[in-house]
Structures are given as C-alpha cells and as structure tokens.
Structure 1
Amino acid sequence: MAPTARSRGTAHTRKELHKEILKRQNHTKEKVVKEGVSGGGGKGVVGVVDAWTPGPYTALKALLSARLCAAIWGLINDCDETYNYWEPTHYLLYGKGFQTWEYSPQYALRSYTYLLLHAVPGWLYSTLLQSNRILVFFFIRCMLALGCSGCELYFYRGVCKEFGSNIGLVTLGVLVFAAGMFTASTAFLPSSFAMYMTLLSIGAWYHQAPQLAIFTTAISTFLGWPFAAALGIPIAYDILFRKKQVMMFTKWCIISALTILVPMVQIDSQYFGRLVVAPLNIVLYNIFSSHGPNIYGTEPWTFYIINGFLNFNIMFLAALVALPFHILVTQVLQVIPKRSTIQHLPLWLSLSPLYLWLTVFLLQPHKEERFLFPIYPLICLTAAVATDTMQQVWWWAWGGRQQHYISHTTWLSLSLLALSATMSMSRIVGQYRAFHAPIETFMELNRLASEGHYPSDRPITLCLGREWHRFPSSFFLPGLNWDVQFIESEFRGQLPQPYSQEPNATSTIPDHMNDANLEETTRYVNVSLCHLLVDMDREEETPREPRYAARTTDWTTIHSLPFMDGDRSQRLLRAFYIPFLTEQYSTYLNYTLLEATRWRTKTRTTGH
C-alpha cells in the first residue's frame, strides 16, 4: 500500500528513526529540572526530579505506630488536661469527677460538645467491650492516635502535592519522630484538636480544596480553640484577594456556622441551663476581662524558643530561619533558582501561618507549651523546606551539574533526620524515665485493689497535697467508691471541686468558685480523714507540706518510685536522656503512695 502524503512527510530514514528512539528513551530516564524549591534544583540540571516517598499505606503505618506508642506511654504533662477535660469526661461517663470554675454556668468557658466527641466513643467501648476505666482511658487515647494519624496522612499528601516529594519525605520523617508530635498527638486538649484541624485545613489548602480548608478551620475555631482562627488568615487571604472567590468564601463560612456552631450552642446551652457560646466566652475572658490569663503566670519570649528546641531540636531552629534563608539564597545571592510556578501558592504565603502564630504568641505574657501545639505540623513542614534549601545550596557549591540535587544530597537530609530523630528519642525516653511515676503509682494502686487489699463496699478517701497537679484523673481510681480529696499545700491558687451529685449538676452554679484564681479553703479536708496519700518525699518541710513519709507512726509507705528532681539535676541531662550519664548526674526523689497506719491496722483486724 502506497504511503499517504502525510506519512511521507513525517517518514524517517532508518538512521533518523534510530536517533529518535534513543532520544525518547533518554527523555524518559532524564528530565530537565524545573525551577523551584522542591520540584528540582536549578536550570539545566539533569536527573530524576522526584525523591522516593512512602506511599499512603506505608506512611499511615509509620504515623500510626508512633501515635499508638504515644497513646500508651505518653505522659500527662499539663494539669489542665486532667481537670478541664479528663475529669468532666469522667463525670459524663460515670457521674463523678472534678469541676473547674470554667465549667460553672456562671462563666461557661468550656464546651461540653467537645467533651462528647471523646465521651461517646468511651461510653461505647465501656458498654460493649470493657468496663475497666483505665482501659477506657487508653481506648480514648488510642482513638486520638488514630484520628491524628489520619489527619497527618492527608497533610503529608498535600505537602507532596504542593512542595514535591523531597520536602514531603522530610516532613513525614519529622512528623513521625519529633518529641513534640509525640506529646501533642494524643493529648486531650483543645490545642491538640486544633492541631488535628490544622493538619486538615492546611492540607486541604495544599490540595487546592478551599471549601474543606474553610470548614476545618471553622471546626478548629468553634469546637477546639477559638484563637486557632488565626491560622486561617492566610487561607482567607488566598481565597479572597488572590483568587477573588468572595461568594464561595461567604457561602462556606455560613455553612460552617450553621453546621458546627449552631448545634454546638444548642448542646452546650442544654448542659449549662442557659444560652452559652463557649468560644465567645473564652475570647472575652482572655482579652477583655480585668485579669485575664496572666494571673496564671508569665514567661519571657525565650520560653517558646527553648520549648521549641526541646520538642523539635535542630528542626525547630531550621524552621525559624527557613523562609529568610530561602529568600537569601534565591533572591539575594541567587545561588539557586526561584521557586517554580507549578505550585499554586507563593512560598511566603504557604509558610506564613507558622510565622504569624509565633509572632502573636511570642508577644503574649502568659505562655504555655500547649499554645504551640496547633503549629507543630507546620514546624515539621517548614523545617523540611529549610532542609531542602540546604540540599540545593550544597549541590550548587559542591555537586555535579549533570546530576539532580536530590541524588547528590540525599545523605544530607537523611543525616539531619537521623540526628533530629535521635535527639527526639532521647527526649521522649528521658521524659518517660524521669516523670512516669504518677501514672505508674496509680496503676499499682489498681493492682493492690484488684488483689483485695482494699474494700469495695465502702468509701475510701485518697488525698493529694503538693502532688495535686500530677493526678492522672479519676479514670485511674480503682472503683467508684474511691474519692479524691485535697489537703493543704504551698499552692495558694484555686483548686477544682467535685461535681454535685444532683441530676442537673452541669447547670447548677456551684458555691465557692471564682475566675481570679483565688484560693478557696473549702477545697481542703483534714489529713486525718485520709485513708491513703500520694506525696513527693522531699527533705524540705513547711507547716503546710510536712514530710509525711518520715512520719512512720502515722503513715506506711506501700509503694515508691524514683522521680527526677528537676531543680537539682543537670539541665542537659534533665532535657535529654544520655545512658549512664543521666542516672549518674541527676537527682531523684521518691514518689510515694502512703497508707494511714490507723486505717491499715483496722483493715487488717476487721478484714475490710
């Protein structure tokens, strides 16, 4: 069959055809690198563009493994987690628990809707599978671990889409191993919930799904922590001013308010017995009240710098300088090309939530570690951007121009990840070894009770003095016949008090509560009413904090564990665990479980 004119026009000689085939084969193996932070290195650089990254299932398994470890071995580092969230959740499930002033209908700063998100799964587990309250506690934690892992996976995939595989890989590595993520991922705190929603909202932003970004930002603001709305400002700027999608933004703001805030107000108002908008109340208290949060202590600006380094080590320092460092090398020194237009966001905008949050909270006098939880994933991402930029600078200075920068500098990113992971593991192990005594003590108390050492048919009073802030929650009490009471200590602020046993306790304004952290002496009982006492055995004594363990005629030590004395231990060894050196150069106290001698004798005599 004769060739057509078209085929004749495009026909190749045998030699030309062979050249074309070789050219196409080479093109599939080697690509010209596009300009950009993650998409490549520099113009004309030939090599494989994308670094290897774990697939979704592999990434999820790595994340979930790390989060389940946090659920099982993580500590409760903040008494706010115990008394403002675990205790009222215990009340919702079992009808007993401590109530803080924030849950008084007079102030109504906290949301019962947020608690129900955790209480309902706990109730289902308790009803259908296992009624042991410690297991319910860890089940709720494992649910948090699962939820956090899913959010992290979505964020990771968004990072890969927006920044490329190299930055995605480093981000995933920091997420999995960072000590900060270990702490925040399973904490029962609104700031941790806001972190989950940050993962979703920023991830949706990078996925170019603005509707989901708006909706999850609203969930974070209403159900979690209202101040987390600040993280949505760059997203709103992108939608309103860069993309001009005013109607879409307005529509989804209205949808979010109707589907989240309205049901939330209805549920909270039902519990408090009056109309309550909890997010509004907490904003009014923190910003417009006469005393605000500063009555709980203030810290210098360096607090967050030190805390960030402890939780993310070198990666936190890299995150702080990531954007200015990238601007320096791309626009001032011009040693690597500017970012490609294949990404839908300029770098300064995509990283701005981190710097915006740090700027706002560095200026606030009252500082808490948990206030940085919402930006922990952004620290991981921004550190990855800095690492990627360092790789490109190294390639520019020392690499071969015929190779892609990733193939030439993978060792650099892996070395930084390995160093950071080692420091994080040292931090995690050190914190557990030094401060795990409170949870272990209450686990031992449950073991003793299960072996019949304590009666289950009459009230038992366990007292807390100076150790009130390390109580892991009523989930760790052996039975509902156990009550926790406070005795006097050197702490002179306001302690929580048990919920009323009346049916409408959540809507009843309790007596003796204030919003100024003033001491309420009605919280204390006489130590003679205590059957057991949890105390830190210190040599120093005061009239309000005697050394109970030394009063052997009144108290018998039935369990004791070492607890690091942070004030008398070397600072580096307190922050990071170094085998052999930490034990040798640190000071430890005894965290003790004491039993009243008179009650112990009576119990042995009567048998119950």
Structure 2
Amino acid sequence: MPHSIRQRTNPNSPYIRKNGPKWRSQQNRSEAVNPTNAYEYGLSFPTGYTAFKALLTARIVSAIWSHISDCDETFNYWEPGHYMMYGKGFQTWEYSPKFALRSYTYLLFQLVPAFIYNVLMRPDKLFIFYFQRCLLAVSCSACEVYFYKSVCREFGIHVGRLTLIFQLFSAGMYVASSAFLPSSFSMYMTMLSIGAWYHRKYELAVFLTALSSFLSWPFAALIGVPIAIDMLYLRKDFMKFAKWCIISVCIILLPMVRIDSLYFGRLVAAPWNIVIYNVFTSHGPDLYGVEPWYFYLLNGFLNFNFIYISAMVTPAALWAVSKLVSVNARNPACLPYSLSILPLYLWLIVFTLQPHKEERFLFPVYPLVCLCGGLTVDAVQKLYFRLFVRSGQHYLHHTSHLVFPTVFITSLLGVTRILALYKGYHAPMDTYMELSKMTAEGNLPTLNYFNICVGKEWYRFPSSFFLPDDRWSLLFVKSEFRGELPKYFAQVDGTSVIPDHMNDMNKEEPTRYANLTSCHFLVDLDVSTSSEFEPNYSQQVDKWVLVKSIPFLDNQRTSKWLRSFYIPYIWEKNVVWGSYNLLQARKMRVQPSKY
C-alpha cells in the first residue's frame, strides 16, 4: 500500500535538510518535497512493490491487447526470430549479408526465454508470441519501477508520483512497452541508465547506455551525452568514463561482432552499418517517406495528450519558478535541471530535424516525456502558491485542486486513446487467430500445405507465429504498393547466403508476387473501393467464400479527431467501418508452394 517514508539518518544523503527539523521560513514552503521529509506532511506515495503491481497490470494489458502497429516489428524482428526458432520466416534486405544492418545478437538476447519455453513445453506458436510479449511487459515494468524510484530521489516524491501516473495511463507507454523493437529496448535502457545516473551510479549508467547503443540502436548514444558531460566536464572523472567505455566495448560489442559474423558468414559490425546507411548515404532512410516538422507534435499529443504539451514547456516553467518563487538553492548533491532533463530535448531536436520520421523513433524518450510533464505540473503548483496563496502550509496542501483534475483528464484521455486503438485496429490479429481455430477444429480442406495471400494488407501481417504450423505459407499478390517486399529466408544457410532480387533502394521486386490461383486463403480489407491491382475480393463471391469478417476502422472516411479518442456511443455511431475479411477460395487448386 502507499506509505509515507521515514526520515533517513545518513548525513551524506542529498535529502537531509540543512536548516533543522522544522521549516524555518516561508521561502522554504514552496520547495519540492523529498522522500526524507514527506512523512512530515502526511504525504503518501506508492512503494516500489505497489508501483510494480500497477505497472505490470498495465503492461500485461498491452501485451495481450496491443496490435502490431509497425510492419518493421513484424518483418525485421518477429520474422527473423521465427526463422531462428522454426527454420522458416521472412527476410528483409537489412538481413542480407550484403548489407547486414540488423543484429542476430539482439534477437538471441531477446528470445532466449522463448527458446527455452519452446524446447520444454512445445506449445503452439501463438503461445510463444504472447509469452514473449508478456516477458517484454515484465521487463518494462521492472525498468519503470527503477526509474520511478530514481525520479523520487532526484526530484522529490511528488514529481515521482506524477511521473508514475503519467506512465501508467499514457497511450505511448502502452504501445511501446510490449513492442518487439530496438527502440522499445532502448526505452527500457533509458529508464535504467538515467535512473542509475540519478542515483550517481556512473559506471552502471555508462554500461547501460552502451548496451542500448550497441545491442539495439546506435543512435541511443545520444541519450548518454548529458551523462558524459556530467562525468567529463563537471566531475572531471576522465578515467572512470574511459574505463567503463572500454569495458562496455569488450563485454558487449566484441561478442556481438563475433556472433553476428558467424551468422552472416563474414565480419559484421551491425551498429556501424546502421550509422553508415542512415547518415552517410545520399538517400538514407528518406526512401521510406518524409514527414513535416510538426509530425512529432501531433504524434506526441495522440500518445500523451496534454502531458506532451507540458513536457515541451518544462524549461520555461522551471525558469519561471526560479525567478518568481523564492526557494532555497537546489541541494548541491542534485544535478542541475538544465542537465538532468537535457536528454529529452536533445533527442527531440535531433529527430525533429530528420526528414524521415516514425512514431517508434521517440520510444526511447517516452519516460522522459512523463517526467518533464510531472515537473511542469509541479512548477505550476509552486507558481500558483506563490501568486495566490503566499502563506500557510506546504504548497502541495494548497494546490491539490490543480493536480487532481490534471491527473484525471490526462489519464482519461490516455485510456480513451488506448480503447480507440484496440477497437479500431485490432482486427488483423483476430483474423489471423482464426486460422489456429480452424486448424484445431478440423475445418480445413485435406491438403498437405496451405497458401494464405495478402495484397494491400501485407503490412498488417502480425507474423508467422500466427500461422498454425509449417504447412502454412504467406504469399504476396500484386497491389498498388510499389516498394520492396521481404522474401523467405533460404532453407539452407539462410542467414549467410546472399539472397537474389534484393536491394537497399526500396525498389519493387516483381519476383515477390504469387499468382492469385495459388491462394487457398486471402486476407483483405473491404472498404468498398477497388482499383486495377486492388479489386474488392470480398465481392467476388464466385471465387471466394467469406470465412471471418471483423469491423476495422476506415481512416479515410472517418474524422481525424473522432477516430483518435474513444467516446462511448458517439464513437460507435459516427465512426465509418470497413470489414477485415478472411476469404477461402471456392476451388482449392493443388499447385506447388513457392516456399
């Protein structure tokens, strides 16, 4: 249960007050409450165990409910993982030994528990998928608890409580927490490395930053820049920094290069290849689309609503407090605000300037958005106390009427966004689950193999873990999409053989397409439109039988703001729906599988 912490007796603690057991002046009443004096004011906050239970509940909900919102997660992580476990899966050009932008070490690191579970229990593949997701949920929850306790230590329990609540109910954390993506792993490492930094555990902070940068995403090193500034320029601790950089290279990077080189069949340093492609090529990732400068503002509001706006003005809010509110100087043991929250703004500046933008690129700093949102709310409370109250007890006792509506509104918006995502876009997961149900119930034709095809819906395929067994193969039929689609790994030495018909320019490869007559089943979205290469298959009743149909939100015909947040009754009445359909061919043609 939430409790009030007892006074610490360690004289070296940064939370021991220097001016005696009682508040000496009115100036001190506007100072933030730290864990050491929280009990004095009857303030309660969740213990680490309570926080973990709450967070774990929210993250398990994400693991079970959340759909895969990025095809990169499917084809660059779930599919190679499926290949490593079952010998069959899709390969993208990033996994070609010719380019080698992705790391098999990262997959192994993440999937070891799933390998063990599969060997011991031999469960259905769908169980493996959700088992792995739940493991990610547990890992994220543990990292969030450490971050929460670190925020309480550095900024006080009130900011810590706000940060925890914002993380619990934000749609951004819901989406990122159970995603099998390097950016999600970097988010976990951000919470641990920044948390270690706030605890002044510099060795651990450097190592975890290196783990995030080498193992998952090299650009995550940007988050470690303020830690380096603190160590090199403020503390002059050159030897410790250099020592732990070398240790990190030896423990993480060198084994990683060795493992990846064995898989690719040649010397490979995947983090370096990613940097080369994204920074030093003429096109970089811009081939995959560019977005306007305000993309992250809109996306941030969808995922964090007013918390994100608050986080954008945190530096201004803290400056206003320093000028208008008379408080004692911040304890020297604490980091300067300008340094402790710098990782968020450094990240936002760099990634906003990049033309190619994606939602997952902000995953690593999502917890820092919640932290800065909490700091802004705390600053507004102090300003309100200074301008309108001026005297009385601690500022928190006079500003609760500001906090409760803020927490309620932001939490409600977060939950309504999560419900909108589930109700509007979960249909692909449910549709592919139907295949396992049909297999278990024996409602399938007597064939040795089954081809399930996708056209325009290729990017919503949730992964081969949703195909019941090795008799099933996914085939692509031509659609209006003109980019490069993945292809199956070679059955022999698939990770080290350079595949043919593969490029790094996102150019269409016609060899990817199968003939429609090879399809036993087809998954398609019916929104009552059609084109030459995207006919309305659901209306071709002479060729296809409807097996399963699930409502799916039609983005094109639904108002942007209406579809963004779930409002009961209004949402159901005004949202325009399409049908996500599983179709079965009327004539099962027995032809050789392309796999």
TM-score, normalization by structure 2? 0.93
Which residue, 151, 160, 163 being the options, matches 1:168? Answer: 160
RMSD: 2.1
Aligned partner of 1:547 in structure 2 is 536
Q: For residues 30 and 254 of structure 2, what CA distance do their matches in structure 1 show?
A: 42
Q: 2:409 aligns with which of 413, 416, 419?
A: 419
SS, match of residue 93 in structure 1: helix
**Stretch of structure 1 that moved more, 94-103 or 120-129:** 120-129
Q: What secondary structure is seen at the aligned counterpart in 2 of 1:505?
A: coil
Choose from 130, 155, 169 the match for 1:177. Answer: 169
Higher deviation after alignment, 455-464 or 65-74: 455-464
CA contact (8 A) 1:31 1:46 kept: no
1:596 aligns with 2:585: yes
2:217 matched residue in structure 1 = 225
Specify the SS of the correspondent of 2:399.
Answer: helix
Larger Cα-atom Rg = 1
CA–CA distance in structure 2, aligned partners of residues 550 and 172 of structure 1: 49
Decide whether aligned partners of structure 1 residues 396 and 34 sit closer, same or farther in structure 2, where only a CA change above 3 A counts: closer
Trace 1:157-556 onto structure 2 (pairs within 5 A). 157-331=149-323, 334-337=324-327, 339-399=329-389, 401-454=391-444, 458-502=448-492, 504-556=493-545
Q: C-alpha displacement at 1:445, in angstroms?
A: 1.8
Q: 2:23–2:29: 8 Å Cα contact kept in structure 1?
A: no
Contact conserved, 2:538 with 2:544, CA < 8 A, in 1?
yes
Q: Alignment partner of 1:364: what SS?
A: coil
Matches of 1:137 and 1:393, distance apart in 2: 49
Query: In 1, Cα distance between the equivalents of 2:119 and 2:397?
Result: 55
Pick closer, same or farther for the CA change 1:36–1:401 going to 2, 3 Å. Answer: closer
CA positional deviation for 1:125: 1.1
Give the letter for the 1:477 counterpart. L
Hey, what's the Cα distance between the residues in 2 that align with 1:118 and 1:37?
48
Structure-2 separation of matches of 1:229 and 1:214: 10
CA distance in 1, matches of 2:503, 2:224: 33
**Does residue 566 of the first structure (1) align with residue 545 of the second (2)?**
no
Distance change >3 Å, CA 110–CA 555, structure 1 → 2: same
Picking from 81, 84, 87, the partner of 2:76 is 84
Check whether the contact 1:38–1:166 (CA below 8 A) recurs between aligned residues: no
Deviation of 1:182 (Å): 0.3
Q: Distance in 1 between matches of 2:29 and 2:442?
A: 64
SS at match of 1:325: helix
The Cα of 1:399 is off from its aligned counterpart by 2.7
Q: How far, CA to CA, are the matches of 2:572 and 2:386 in structure 1?
A: 45
Task: Supply the distance in 2 between the matched residues of 1:158 and 1:268 (Cα, whole angstroms).
Answer: 35
Deviation at 1:410, TM superposition (A): 2.6
**Structure 1 SS opposite 2:587:** helix
Gap runs ≥5 in structure 1: 1-26, 604-608
SS in 1 for 2:474: strand
Name the structure 2 match of 1:14.
none
Q: Is 1:40–2:32 an aligned residue pair? A: yes
Deviation digits for residues 231-252 of structure 1, max 9, x if unmatched?
A: 0000000000000100000000
Give how far 1:36 is off: 8.2
Shift of 1:418: 1.2
Amino acid at match of 2:506: N
Task: Tell me by how many angstroms 1:414 deviates.
Answer: 2.5
Alpha-carbon spacing, 1:223–1:462, altered in 2? closer, same or farther (3 Å): same
Secondary structure of the corresponding residue to residue 483 of structure 1 = strand
Give 1:457 shift: 6.1
Question: CA contact under 8 A between 2:62 and 2:178: conserved in structure 1?
Answer: yes
TM-score (structure 1 length as normaliser): 0.91
- CA offset digits 1:63-122 (Å, max 9, x no partner): 111111111111100000000000000000000000000000000000000011222211
- 1: CA distance, partners of 2:248 / 2:463: 34
Question: How far off is 1:39 after superposition?
Answer: 4.7
Are the structure 2 counterparts of residues 32 and 410 from structure 1 closer, same or farther at C-alpha, using a change threshold of 3 Å?
Answer: farther
Query: Alpha-carbon deviation of 1:540?
Result: 1.9
> Aligned in 2, Cα 1:50/1:226: closer, same or farther, shift over 3 Å?
farther
Q: Which moved more, 1:51-60 or 1:364-373?
A: 51-60
- Whether contact under 8 Å (1:30, 1:46) holds in the other structure is no
The answer to whether the Cα contact below 8 Å between 2:26 and 2:391 also exists between their aligned partners in 1 is no
Q: Partner of 1:22 in structure 2?
A: none
**Per-residue displacement from partner, 1:144-190 (whole Å, max 9, x unpaired)?**
01111111111111101110111011011111111100000010000
1:137 aligns with 2:137: no
Give the 5 Å matches for 1:4-83: 30-32=22-24, 39-40=31-32, 48=40, 51-83=43-75
SS of the residue aligned with 1:593?
strand
Asked if structure 1 preserves the Cα contact closer than 8 Å seen for 2:75 and 2:463, the reply is yes
C-alpha deviation, 1:350, in angstroms: 0.4
- Secondary structure in 2 matching 1:448: helix
Greater mean alpha carbon deviation, residues 278-287 or residues 110-119: 110-119
Please state whether the residue corresponding to 1:507 is helix, strand or coil.
coil
| Number of equivalenced pairs | 570
Structure 2 unmatched ranges of 5 or more? 1-18, 591-595
1:456 positional shift = 7.5
Structure 1 window deviating more from structure 2 (107-116 vs 123-132): it is 123-132
Separation of aligned partners in 2, 1:154 and 1:586: 40
Distance (Å, rounded) in 2 between the aligned partners of 1:41 and 1:154:
19
2:313 counterpart SS class: helix
Flag the 1:33–1:436 CA change in 2: closer, same or farther, 3 A: farther
Q: How far apart are residue 335 of structure 1 and its match? A: 3.0
**Equivalence for 1:13:** none
Structure 2 Cα separation of the partners of residues 349 and 33 of structure 1: 29
